Amino acid sequence: MKTLRLLAVFAAFAAFTLRSAAADVTVTLTDVHMCCNNCVKGATAALAPVSGVKGVSSTSDKTIVLTAADIATLQKGVNALTAAGYFGKSDNAGVKVDASTGAKAGKVQTLEISGVHLCCGKCVTAVKTALATVAGAKPDDSLATNAKSFKVTGDFDATAVFAALQKAGLTGKVVAAN
């Protein structure tokens, strides 16, 4: 009799666990700049304050897979990643990657950008490579590992700078002029 009760309790627990696991939803962000283990650590740190979301980053696949109980929590996780300078394409129609940067269309001569993930020299190189595709844009010497912000100078379209960064799997925001 004890064995039957124990089996019944175990079966109920297993059914609850399976229902809970089946309720989880995921989003995979692809084409994310993920060049090293520090990028992985940065993504993990960005997700840490978001309760209920788990993230797995892959440097080889350039992906971040998020799992949570609901779409709203996944969205908070994706928002935390973009705030930390990561950018990618969502495979879940219910989860949007915010591409807003504060950049206005049109030519500028100077643009200060903050919030781009720059954990190592490869990240800096990725930004330089992206900026090289934007006619007239050139990063100044403030673009460096762990920089909180950097400037781009020349005669260029500000939105093109962010389009290039996002294509490279990175993002940031315009620093408002004082």
DSSP string, 58-99: ETTTTEEEEEESSHHHHHHHHHHHHHTTB--EES-TT-----
User: How is 136-178 classified by DSSP, letter by letter?
Assistant: TEEE-TT--TT-SEEEEEEEEEHHHHHHHHHHTTB--EEPPP-
Tens of pLDDT along 103-139?
A: 999 999 999 999 999 999 999 999 999 999 999 999 9
Sign of dihedral through CA atoms 24, 29, 33, 34? positive
CB neighbourhood size of 2 (10 A): 6
Same fold, 2-90 and 107-174: yes
Backbone phi, then psi, for 174, in 5-degree steps?
A: -70, 135
Residue 176 is predicted with a pLDDT of 73
pTM of the model: 0.85
Class of domain 2-90: alpha beta
> Domain extents for the chain?
2-90, 107-174
Residue range 20-70, pLDDT digits in tens? 455 799 999 999 999 999 999 999 999 999 999 999 999 999 999 999 999
Mean per-residue pLDDT, 136-152: 96
Supply the pLDDT for residue 1. Answer: 53
pLDDT reported for residue 22: 56
Whole-angstrom distance, CA of residue 116 vs CA of residue 127: 9
- Selection from 141, 51, 74 nearest residue 65 by Cα: 74
The architecture in CATH of the region 107-174 reads 2-Layer Sandwich (3.30)
Q: Which residue do the tokens 């084409």 mark?
A: 31
d(CA 75, CA 156): 32
Q: Which residues contact 61 (CB under 8 A, 6 or more apart)?
A: 30
Question: Where does the pLDDT of residue 18 fall: very low under 50, low under 70, confident under 90, or very high at 90 and above?
Answer: very low
